[in-house]
Amino acid sequence: MKQKNIHSPALSRITITDSLFNHYVSIVAKKLIPYQWNVLNDCEPETEKSYCIANFRIAAGELQGRHKGMVFSDTDLYKWLETLAYCIERGEALAYVPHADEMIDLLSRAQEPDGYLNTYYSINCPDRKWTNFTEGHELYSAGHLIEAAVAYYKATGKAKLLEIAARFADLICERFAPGGTLENACPGHQEIELALIRLSACTGEKRYADLARHFLEVRGNASEFLKKNLDEQGRDRIFPEFYDYDALYAQSHLPPTEQNTAEGHAVRAMYMYSAMADVARVYGDEDMAESCIRLWRNLTEKRMYITGGIGSSGHLERFTVDYDLPNDRMYCESCASVGLMMFGQRMAALTGEAKYYDVVERALCNTVLAGIAAEGDKYFYVNPLEVWPANCLSGTSMAHVKPLRQPWFACACCPANIARTLASVGQYIYAQDEKSVYINQFISSELITEIRGTTIALKLRSELLQAGKVNIIISEGRNQPVTLRVRIPPYMEDPVFLFNGNPITPLIESGYAVVAVSREEEQNLEIHANVKPYWAAADKNIRADAGKLALMFGPYVYCLEEVDNRENLANVYVSPQAEIVPVANSTGLPGTLPLLCFCGQRLDPGLDSGEPYGKPHFQFTPESFTAIPYGLWCNRAPGEMMVWLKAILTIPLVTESERTR
């Protein structure tokens, strides 16, 4: 396997100009950073207390008290710092730099002399450090500290947080690397692995990457380790829902190189697969790469929703079996789709193939956008494809499904994860290697970067859904030829390429249209594509979607909402031949994605009044319906929402084979 050097340009070199994504990227800097700062300080009224910064002050000996909040609440501050770093890199939220530096000083005071840093264990049970790998999240929290530190160092050049993280990483190496007292321990929630790879790349210290690889290798040799470790906790258990814990839950059932199916807790799985793809790339590990490809295929072909959501079981937020994709009671955690984007980006870097970005785009444009309110201050943890608000009752099996976004969660992983993803969305748009610039997403933006010592300036303007075209202008002087590689997604039918106004037929390689640009004057690549909205069906094995249709436009899944289409969407039927008409978006929702209108039918089963069941006298009444992008649902009035609609099919009473018999 030839090692590739595909990487993202610095965020400081990318400006998002797309009306939809610029809205969300700006809102992170202008609203989320201040809002989450208030939440971390417990001064946001009407929001669940986080206790996050108070915990660090107690650990530093500056406040009295016990640790409160989730066992991994330190990561709320780490993810805030990471998100802020991406904003700073883009020149935004600079007023929060002094707050960040103040927090970094606090972290250094809370860090123990040997480098250990975790407020739950330092405050509540210092004698129980490194004893509860299944539930304790110490390595998981360390991973988010490391990610924040690398991001903050890159954004500001300040090394203090990186030094704090490296001291902790050195302690972890000493304990967990082969020869250490904990060399057989397996992290209960993956994250440290991919963080160590980032730390290794940032510092040039190979031992951090070696430890990441060791954490993957020890996993399959320790299938009973986590279960036994949980049993050892006795009555000191942290998560009561782990009563039926199994090795699949944390993907420790087999060595990673022998795993074939996406199993267990979806976020844990995505973080581990991301680290596996990193290790495969860094070490040229063929077995690991093969395993990543198998897992990717199972995940995206048999266990993923049309929205890029993953995790079918509300209980334990996990995968179940192939094709089990219920629409109203799954988990589809926002963090899991963030993790899917991370895995896809790494698979593309590993293989050089564009197709991985098709899925990244699906997850970003649908589940990740749906996870955050247009105003930026409320979030979904669970992302169903069908909601009837009345049955989302607490104390039932539907308790995890919320019909409205929530301001903040006691377990606040999703808001912070969405924020850091949107703040750094440029890393998913562009990549580069020694001679090429890759365009992986059609999000209007500008890039200035250097390749082979030559500056390249590029303007990407995408109107794929609005006008069926993408325009790419390349300028700036260059003395070396540069290759532009543009992902051609499946929804671009028969694309026509114009280079400086002249039709060309570019080579399509690994899913990218490859165009060489070598002259010094401004050059213009236009792609005209027949992108039309269409009705999608699901594989026959996906029982939940049998006989149903979903409305798609490019990468965007559309849905019906009660506010446009009245209640009881379960009685809406549509023909696969129904014409779909895009209309300008007049709802006030961000961006310029069109609404989609179509004619369908509303069913009245015609039962005698008052009877719950009876002989059918079906009556269909024609009705016009309006669908909006799923990523923007629940931003106007609360109510029902539905992605998969029942299809009206003309079914012959006698089959063709019976007729000819």
With CB under 5 A as the contact rule, which of the stretches 30-38, 43-51, 71-79, 335-343 interacts with Zn ion?
335-343
Residue whose CB is less far from Zn ion, 209 or 270? 270
Residue 413 is a binding residue for Zn ion (CB under 5 A):
yes
Residue whose CB is less far from Zn ion, 78 or 535? 78
Look at residue 395 and give its three-state secondary structure: coil
Residue whose CB is less far from Zn ion, 310 or 429? 310
What's the CA gap between 398 and 415, in Å, rounded?
A: 21
- Contact in structure between 389 and 567 (CB atoms under 8 Å): no
- Contact in structure between 428 and 341 (CB atoms under 8 Å): yes
Plot region of 486 (φ>0 → left; ψ -120 to 50 → alpha; else → beta): beta
Binding mask 65-94 for Zn ion (x = CB under 5 A): ------------------------------
Q: Which residues inside 528-587 make contact with Zn ion, applying CB under 5 A?
A: none
Least distance CB 235 / Zn ion (angstroms): 28
What's the CA gap between 540 and 546, in Å, rounded?
A: 6
Altogether, the residues listed in the chain come to a count of: 661
- Contact in structure between 589 and 370 (CB atoms under 8 Å): no
Residue 100 is a binding residue for Zn ion (CB under 5 A):
no
Least distance CB 261 / Zn ion (angstroms): 22
Residue 151 is a binding residue for Zn ion (CB under 5 A):
no
Residue whose CB is less far from Zn ion, 35 or 553? 35
With CB under 5 A as the contact rule, which of the stretches 278-286, 327-335, 508-516, 594-602 interacts with Zn ion?
327-335
Residue whose CB is less far from Zn ion, 413 or 470? 413
With CB under 5 A as the contact rule, which of the stretches 50-58, 304-312, 410-418, 629-637 interacts with Zn ion?
410-418
Q: Buried (b) or exposed (e) across 479-494, using 16+ Cβ within 10 A?
A: eeebbbbbbbbebbee
Residue whose CB is less far from Zn ion, 18 or 76? 76
> Pick from 202, 112, 196: which is nearest to 152 by CA?
202
Phi, psi for 261 (deg, rounded to 5): -125, 150
With CB under 5 A as the contact rule, which of the stretches 248-256, 386-394, 413-421, 595-603 interacts with Zn ion?
413-421
- Contact in structure between 473 and 459 (CB atoms under 8 Å): yes
Residue whose CB is less far from Zn ion, 142 or 413? 413
- Angle of helix 192-203 relative to helix 266-283, nearest 10 degrees? 30
Q: Could you say which of 44, 82, 191, 317 is catalytic? A: 317
Plot region of 395 (φ>0 → left; ψ -120 to 50 → alpha; else → beta): left
286 has catalytic annotation: no
Instruction: Tell whether the torsion through CA atoms of 17, 21, 25 and 30 is positive or negative.
Output: positive
Residue whose CB is less far from Zn ion, 334 or 449? 334
Residue 370 is a binding residue for Zn ion (CB under 5 A):
no
392 has catalytic annotation: no
- E strand intervals along 242-311: none
Residue at shortest CB range from Zn ion: 335
What's the CA gap between 266 and 243, in Å, rounded?
A: 18
Phi, psi for 607 (deg, rounded to 5): -80, 160
- Contact in structure between 19 and 592 (CB atoms under 8 Å): yes
Burial environment of residue 599 by CB neighbours within 10 A (0 to 12, 13 to 18, 19 or more): middle
With CB under 5 A as the contact rule, which of the stretches 57-65, 329-337, 453-461, 594-602 interacts with Zn ion?
329-337
Task: State the first-to-last Cα distance of the chain, in angstroms, to the nearest integer.
Answer: 57
Residue whose CB is less far from Zn ion, 270 or 552? 270
Least distance CB 191 / Zn ion (angstroms): 12
Least distance CB 73 / Zn ion (angstroms): 13
Alpha carbon distances (Å) from 202 to 74, 169, 498, 591: 23, 13, 40, 36
Residue whose CB is less far from Zn ion, 227 or 268? 268
Least distance CB 210 / Zn ion (angstroms): 29
- E strand intervals along 479-561: 482-487, 496-499, 502-504, 507-509, 512-517, 523-528, 534-536, 548-553, 556-561
What's the CA gap between 479 and 500, in Å, rounded?
A: 19
Alpha helix stretches (DSSP H) within 204-303: 206-220, 225-231, 266-283, 286-302
Least distance CB 23 / Zn ion (angstroms): 22
Least distance CB 335 / Zn ion (angstroms): 3
Phi, psi for 170 (deg, rounded to 5): -65, -40
Residue 347 is a binding residue for Zn ion (CB under 5 A):
no
Least distance CB 345 / Zn ion (angstroms): 18
Residue whose CB is less far from Zn ion, 414 or 456? 414
Residue of 58, 150, 192, 335 that binds Zn ion (CB under 5 A): 335
Least distance CB 315 / Zn ion (angstroms): 16
> Pick from 472, 471, 444, 470: which is nearest to 457 by CA?
472
Q: Which residue has the tokens 């209980």?
A: 315
Least distance CB 333 / Zn ion (angstroms): 5
Three-state secondary structure along 22-47? HHHHHHHHHHHHHHHHHHHCCCCCCC
What's the CA gap between 89 and 97, in Å, rounded?
A: 11
Least distance CB 216 / Zn ion (angstroms): 23
Calculate the CA dihedral of residues 513, 516, 522, 525 and round it to 10 degrees.
-20
Q: How many residues bind Zn ion (CB under 5 A)?
A: 4
Residue 474 is a binding residue for Zn ion (CB under 5 A):
no
Q: Could you say which of 292, 413, 414, 634 is catalytic? A: 413
Residue of 254, 398, 414, 634 that binds Zn ion (CB under 5 A): 414
Catalytic residues: 317, 413
Contact positions toward Zn ion, by CB under 5 A?
333, 335, 413-414
